[in-house]
Structure 1
Amino acid sequence: MNVSRETEVLEQYAALIRKWNPAINLVAPSTLEQVKSRHIDDCLQLVDVSRSSSGNWVDIGSGGGLPGIVVAICRPDMRVHLVESDRRKCSFLRNAGRELKLTNLNVSTERIESINPLKADHISARALAPLPLLLSYVDRHLVSGGRAWLMKGRNWRTEVEAARETWRFDVTSHPSVTDSEAAILEISELRHA
């Protein structure tokens, strides 16, 4: 997808979030006016750090599609599967996929812990759960040799320490460009402690 087309589709996506948010609460109402700078740009950095990735991508706890829809827009070469348990949010996600013509997008209305293992090459999550719990979801759905791309806030270091009590993993932290205290955690070689 060329840059101008990608930018246009991302703007359309931001408009859809603004339109649907009063009814469904896809993002915090206080951040609605900063959808692009606060949410979409945040997810674009995930696309940048995972640029060399290939295979199938699963976004768990997709909510309003951040980062899953952004990945689908920017990486039309990848199959992107969104998993969200809230039916209303899934209606938004499916509608967004149709309106944005994202033929590489699939949406499942199921709980992460009960859906059949998805055998993902890559898993993403943003603002979903503390890392020790989040890694149990990743472990269920990630193939051996796969990578998780987890967007974490200012407590990410503490969460990594807590997760190491139960899990063994390699982690690379990519500093956030939108929040100096946040990071994208690239996790591989995940196994029980």
Structure 2
Amino acid sequence: MILTDETAARAYVAQSTKPDVMVKLEMLCHALRDENEQQNLVAKRTLEETWLRHIADSAQLLEYVPRETGDWLDLGTGAGFPGLVIAIMRPDTNVILIESRKRRIEWLASQISVLDLSNCTILGQRLELVETRNAGCISARAFAPLPKLLRLAARFSTSDTHWLLPKGRSAAQEVAELPAKRRTMFHVEQSLTDEDAGIIVGKGKVETHK
């Protein structure tokens, strides 16, 4: 099933969450549209399909992660996708947003406060400077090419770490180009929000080269 419009995207999210969560997601949508007038958080053309392009696109990642997981690291979170959506929909999960740009950090902090997301924190640093910790899940949307992303994030992974990496049309090609040992860790799932897009899904520890 591919979601094709705002009505379908909203219904998809609503089926797996509570009314108070939908209220917070709606608040986020409105705030995003307002803030995008001040800074370019997302491509302007996507604002007419905020539920499809940003909310449902983020929410679909939850299908690949068990509810009982460790810290969720969202790398280069930017406008807060998928990180803010995950934090809203999974209040029992500790979500850590990693973002180095000052104005993005200010935006994220404002939303954490307004939406009362006590389970969500920001690390306002470049990923290379973030202190090593074990992650139950690592997500990244449009952060870096896959080899670079894995190299930078490997130190946060354990044998139990889930990887969720929306990659658009390049997903299958990026996995195919990985070294054989790493390639076996990952596979591509069809995105529900774009028939041409894929999500790279994996589990395990990415070993760094000595």
Q: Which TM-score applies when normalising by structure 2?
A: 0.85
Residues 1:34 and 1:173: Cα distance change in structure 2 (over 3 Å) = same
Residues 1:179 and 1:2: Cα distance change in structure 2 (over 3 Å) = closer
> After TM superposition, which residue ranges in structure 1, 4 or more long, deviate above 4 angstroms?
none
CA contact (8 A) 2:172 2:188 kept: no
Question: What SS does the aligned partner of 1:181 have?
Answer: coil
* Number of the residue aligned with 1:118: 133
CA distance in 2, matches of 1:192, 1:112: 16
* Number of the residue aligned with 1:13: 28
CA distance in 2, matches of 1:92, 1:79: 19
Deviation string 1:106-147 (CA, Å, 9 cap, x unpaired) is 001100122111321111101111111111122022233211
Letter in 1 for 2:207: R
CA distance in 2, matches of 1:49, 1:119: 19
CA distance in 2, matches of 1:26, 1:7: 21
Residues 1:181 and 1:123: Cα distance change in structure 2 (over 3 Å) = same
Q: Does 1:162 align with 2:186?
A: no
Give unpaired runs (5+ residues) of structure 2.
1-15
CA contact (8 A) 1:148 1:188 kept: yes
Name which of 47, 50, 66 aligns with 1:32: 47
CA distance in 1, matches of 2:88, 2:148: 28
Letter in 2 for 1:155: S
* Number of the residue aligned with 2:192: 177
Residues 1:91 and 1:7: Cα distance change in structure 2 (over 3 Å) = same
Name which of 140, 147, 159 aligns with 1:144: 159
CA contact (8 A) 1:168 1:191 kept: no
Letter in 1 for 2:124: T
Q: Does 1:59 align with 2:74?
A: yes
Letter in 2 for 1:50: V
Question: What SS does the aligned partner of 2:38 have?
Answer: helix
Deviation string 1:56-82 (CA, Å, 9 cap, x unpaired) is 111010000000001000100110000
Give unpaired runs (5+ residues) of structure 1.
none
Question: What SS does the aligned partner of 1:163 have?
Answer: coil
CA distance in 2, matches of 1:17, 1:161: 35
The number of equivalent residue pairs is 193
More moved, 92-101 vs 45-54: 45-54
CA distance in 2, matches of 1:169, 1:139: 16
Q: Which TM-score applies when normalising by structure 1?
A: 0.92
Percentage of matched positions with identical amino acids: 35
